[in-house]
């Protein structure tokens, strides 16, 4: 068993380097914990190899042979520690595919040792449903134990939401509207079928009280057209509905099962609708465990090239520690979040180059106990796409790709955040940089959000003057806007944000405002490009919005300079709104100059000034300059442009400088000319008008 220098696993290309004197131990699906842990007499459990192995020492290696492991209890990596120069390595055997299957009774791998590396194996929290029982009317059932009610189901490898009423494709985008209510306990709707038709007692009620949130509650009774409901234990932020405005739907009830794939879970039995189809022709998997991988190491645990499939809450949960790392790992089908740090103080964690897909509530969430985090090179897709599948406890903490919540020190860079129900990246805290990320397709489930969003959640505590937050060189595209709204902004500085530098970003094709400054202070936005934004018909959305709705919180000390606002679809350049004295306030919010307003179809952008009361001014460029005293050196489209000629939008969302071919001579908004080619450095863009 003793190994010195190099262990040549399987005598193939893969080489695992071990320190002199280190030992290698083996696990196998056919092993026994009474064995010696050798290659020929392997152990079965990780518990035996780590906490039950008195000989285990820093630098040793545990190799997990291929096959499926179905443990009877959770597996613990504790008691034994590595050192900074000699990790304890727990690796999948090279060129094999070990899978640790988790279930109720054995719901997690719990890592509490220091200087441990887990690498090259799969942790699976999904149970495949077989042996269905037919209940008639196309509904089938199977008794199944879950650690908490399942929030993740896949059919043939596709994340599938619960059945709901009305269906998402029904009229009004699948929502009913509240007619009247009593406090936060009941709603009445004349369109709701009577309980003799469908009784919804015990179902979940989803109340869309704001465009950016849905409350997930439990229906306790259904009488006539009235539903009485209560919050889930621990839920926060329950508010009273608004008559004629608040919308709702119902889910997690057998009455919702009317289309192929509709499902619900009552705490012990899983139900699904197949209609006339044979359930055996479908691979249905249900997440049965809450947190498959839990890490509470004090120092330097590394999660490397794992695959984590299926959870009801969080797939990888960090609980404090120093310099813990998650890298090159695939995390699929998380019922709530893929990665989170909640609770213990986490110093210098790194979350890098992971592939995260199909998370029902959020991709990466790090809270105020996190300090000096690096989140880099991750690809995060399909986050929070189903309105009813978010958290039961937090009403507005759903559907965000990357969320830094009160974090102290963060570098969020080179991430691809694609297809997100709400914000691509949300941040607040101190010493934060959001640099060179690519965000595509967001705000499809909720809106009043953005590709990159922040707000002041510290009761307007100013940021340190010497430590601004940075939003730099990001590419943000395709803000969709939820079916029941249309506010998908590019970059949104909300609710009194202070001291942010926004530079070099590209925002394109969003159904909202390109840059939204919402009663903020010390926002410095320069050298950004806004292309074909404000595509919504809502008058509130413009290329740049500067809005102060709270008289006691005027916008001050802002700089908006050297930006490009370019549109081929509208004329909406800038909106300024204040509830205070607009003619005075517009001169006081800060500086706005040297911008480029390019609207080639008519070259006559509009500037809108309002107090939302009795002042509604649509101004020309010249009128805006005179009225506001802003944009005195700003310009319109460069000369020599033919309005009907093609406009080409190029962007480079890679780390490599790239040349792009052109079919002739083009000029950009700043007047630079390009002949047959343009070269873009990483995370830059150009809008080109053919000459």
For 356-368, the pLDDT digits (tens) are 999 999 999 999 8
What pLDDT sits at residue 234? 65
Asked if the structure places residue 81 within a domain, the reply is yes
Is 515 in a helix, a strand, or coil? strand
Are residues 158 and 272 both part of a single domain? yes
**pLDDT tens-digit series, residues 226-257:** 999 997 776 666 778 899 999 999 999 999 99
Asked if the structure places residue 260 within a domain, the reply is yes
**Is residue 37 scored above 70 in pLDDT?**
yes
What pLDDT sits at residue 464? 67
Asked if the structure places residue 335 within a domain, the reply is no
**Is residue 14 scored above 70 in pLDDT?**
no
Task: Assign residue 656 the CATH number of its domain.
Answer: 2.60.40.1180
Residue pointed to by tokens 């893929």: 338
Helix spans in 473-592 (H): 582-585
What pLDDT sits at residue 138? 98
The pLDDT confidence band at residue 459, using thresholds 50, 70 and 90, is low
CA atoms within 13 A on the CB side of 494: 19
Query: β-strand 506-510 against 529-531: which pairing, if any?
Result: parallel
What pLDDT sits at residue 353? 98
Least confident of 73-82, 158-167, 384-393: 384-393
Are residues 262 and 152 both part of a single domain? yes
- In angstroms, the CA 590 to CA 434 distance is 24
**Is residue 70 scored above 70 in pLDDT?**
yes
Are residues 63 and 154 both part of a single domain? no
Asked if the structure places residue 586 within a domain, the reply is no
Query: β-strand 226-231 against 186-188: which pairing, if any?
Result: antiparallel
Least confident of 73-77, 347-351, 583-587: 583-587
- In angstroms, the CA 682 to CA 594 distance is 24
Structure tokens, 94: 């090279």
Last residue of a domain, one of 229, 258, 285: 285
The pLDDT confidence band at residue 500, using thresholds 50, 70 and 90, is very high
Last residue of a domain, one of 104, 119, 149: 104
- In angstroms, the CA 327 to CA 583 distance is 53
Are residues 100 and 137 both part of a single domain? no
Short-list 222, 190, 183, 193, CA closest to 205: 222
Return the number of other C-beta atoms located less than 10 Å from residue 282's C-beta. 15
**Is residue 35 scored above 50 in pLDDT?**
yes
Range of the domain at 677: 647-690
What pLDDT sits at residue 461? 59
- In angstroms, the CA 298 to CA 115 distance is 9
The pLDDT confidence band at residue 421, using thresholds 50, 70 and 90, is very high
Q: What total of structural domains would you count in the chain?
A: 3
**Is residue 157 scored above 60 in pLDDT?**
yes
Asked if the structure places residue 170 within a domain, the reply is yes
What pLDDT sits at residue 458? 59
Last residue of a domain, one of 285, 312, 345: 285
Are residues 33 and 151 both part of a single domain? no
Short-list 447, 407, 412, CA closest to 430: 407
Are residues 140 and 90 both part of a single domain? no
DSSP state of 6: E
Burial profile 330-356: b = 16 or more Cβ within 10 angstroms, e = fewer: bbbbbbbbbbbbbeeebbbbbbbbbbb
**pLDDT tens-digit series, residues 247-284:** 999 999 999 999 999 999 999 999 999 999 999 999 99
Asked if the structure places residue 530 within a domain, the reply is no
- In angstroms, the CA 361 to CA 375 distance is 18
Kindly report the average pLDDT of the chain as a whole number: 92
Asked if the structure places residue 462 within a domain, the reply is no
Are residues 79 and 197 both part of a single domain? no
Asked if the structure places residue 248 within a domain, the reply is yes
**Is residue 6 scored above 60 in pLDDT?**
no
Are residues 142 and 276 both part of a single domain? yes
What pLDDT sits at residue 463? 65
Structure tokens, 401: 């790709």
Residue pointed to by tokens 């709707």: 189
Q: Which of 460-464, 608-612, 630-634 has the highest mean pLDDT?
A: 630-634
Are residues 213 and 167 both part of a single domain? yes
- In angstroms, the CA 333 to CA 382 distance is 10
What pLDDT sits at residue 431? 94
Are residues 56 and 146 both part of a single domain? no
What pLDDT sits at residue 235? 66
Are residues 88 and 7 both part of a single domain? yes
What pLDDT sits at residue 11? 37
CA atoms within 13 A on the CB side of 366: 30
Are residues 198 and 150 both part of a single domain? yes
**pLDDT tens-digit series, residues 87-131:** 999 999 999 999 999 999 999 999 999 999 999 999 999 999 999
What pLDDT sits at residue 233? 73
Residue pointed to by tokens 């196998």: 28
């Amino acid at each position: 068993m003793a190994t010195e220098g190099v262990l040549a696993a399987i005598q193939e290309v893969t080489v695992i380097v071990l320190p002199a004197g280190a030992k290698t131990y083996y696990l196998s699906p056919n092993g026994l914990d009474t064995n010696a842990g050798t290659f020929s007499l392997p152990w079965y459990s990780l518990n035996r190899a780590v906490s039950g192995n008195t000989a285990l020492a820093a630098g040793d290696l545990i190799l997990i042979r291929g096959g499926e492991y179905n443990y009877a209890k959770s597996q613990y990596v504790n008691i034994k520690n590595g050192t900074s120069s000699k990790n304890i390595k727990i690796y999948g055997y090279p060129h094999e595919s070990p899978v640790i299957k988790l279930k109720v009774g054995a719901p997690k791998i719990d890592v509490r040792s220091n200087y441990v590396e887990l690498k090259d194996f799969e942790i699976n929290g999904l149970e495949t449903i077989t042996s269905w029982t037919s209940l008639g009317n196309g509904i089938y059932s199977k008794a199944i134990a879950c650690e908490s009610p399942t929030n993740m189901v896949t059919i043939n490898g596709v994340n599938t939401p619960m059945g709901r009423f009305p269906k998402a494709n029904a009229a009004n985008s699948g929502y009913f509207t509240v007619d009247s209510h009593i406090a936060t306990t009941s709603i009445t709707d004349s369109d709701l079928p009577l309980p003799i038709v469908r009784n919804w007692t015990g179902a979940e009620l989803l109340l869309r009280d704001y465009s950016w949130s849905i409350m997930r509650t439990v229906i306790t009774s259904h009488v006539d057209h009235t539903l009485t409901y209560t919050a889930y234990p621990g839920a926060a932020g329950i508010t009273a509905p608004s008559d004629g405005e608040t919308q709702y739907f119902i889910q997690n009830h057998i009455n919702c099962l009317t289309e192929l794939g509709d499902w619900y879970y009552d705490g012990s039995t899983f139900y699904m609708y197949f209609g006339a189809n044979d359930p055996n022709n479908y691979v249905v998997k249900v997440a049965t465990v809450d947190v498959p991988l839990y890490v509470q190491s004090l120092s330097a645990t590394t999660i490397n090239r794992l695959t984590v499939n299926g959870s009801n809450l969080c797939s990888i949960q960090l609980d404090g520690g120093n310099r813990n790392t998650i890298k090159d790992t695939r995390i699929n089908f998380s019922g709530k979040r893929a990665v989170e740090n909640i609770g213990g103080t986490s110093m210098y964690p790194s979350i890098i180059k992971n592939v995260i897909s199909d998370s029902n509530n959020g991709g990466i969430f790090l809270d105020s106990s996190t300090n000096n985090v690096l989140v880099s090179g991750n690809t995060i897709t399909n986050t929070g796409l189903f309105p009813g599948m978010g958290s039961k406890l937090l009403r507005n903490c759903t559907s965000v790709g990357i969320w830094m919540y009160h974090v102290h020190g963060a570098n969020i860079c080179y991430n691809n955040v694609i297809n997100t129900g709400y914000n691509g990246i949300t941040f607040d805290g101190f010493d934060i940089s959001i640099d060179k990320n690519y965000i595509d397709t967001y705000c499809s489930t909720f809106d009043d959000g953005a590709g990159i969003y922040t707000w002041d959640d510290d009761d307007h505590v100013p940021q340190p003057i010497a430590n601004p937050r940075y939003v730099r060189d990001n590419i943000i595209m395709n803000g969709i806007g939820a079916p029941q709204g249309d506010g998908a902004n590019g970059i949104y500085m909300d609710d009194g944000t202070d001291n942010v530098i926004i530079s070099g970003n590209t925002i394109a094709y969003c159904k909202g405002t390109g840059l939204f400054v919402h009663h903020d202070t010390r926002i410095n936005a320069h050298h950004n490009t806004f292309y074909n934004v404000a595509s919504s018909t809502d008058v509130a959305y413009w290329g740049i919005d500067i809005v102060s709705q709270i008289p006691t919180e005027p916008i001050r000390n802002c700089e908006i300079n050297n930006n490009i606002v370019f549109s081929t679809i509208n004329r909406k350049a800038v909106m300024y709104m204040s509830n205070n004295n607009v003619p005075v306030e517009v001169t006081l919010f800060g500086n706005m100059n040297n911008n480029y307003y390019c609207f080639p179809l008519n070259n006559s952008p509009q500037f809108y000034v309002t107090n939302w009361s009795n002042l509604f001014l649509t101004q020309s460029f010249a009128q805006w300059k005179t009225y506001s005293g802003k944009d005195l050196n700003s310009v319109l489209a460069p000369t020599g442009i033919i309005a009907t000629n093609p406009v080409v939008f190029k962007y480079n969302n890679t780390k490599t400088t790239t040349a792009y071919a052109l079919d002739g001579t083009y000029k950009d908004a700043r007047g630079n000319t390009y002949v047959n080619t343009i070269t873009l450095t990483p995370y830059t863009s150009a809008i080109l008008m053919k000459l």
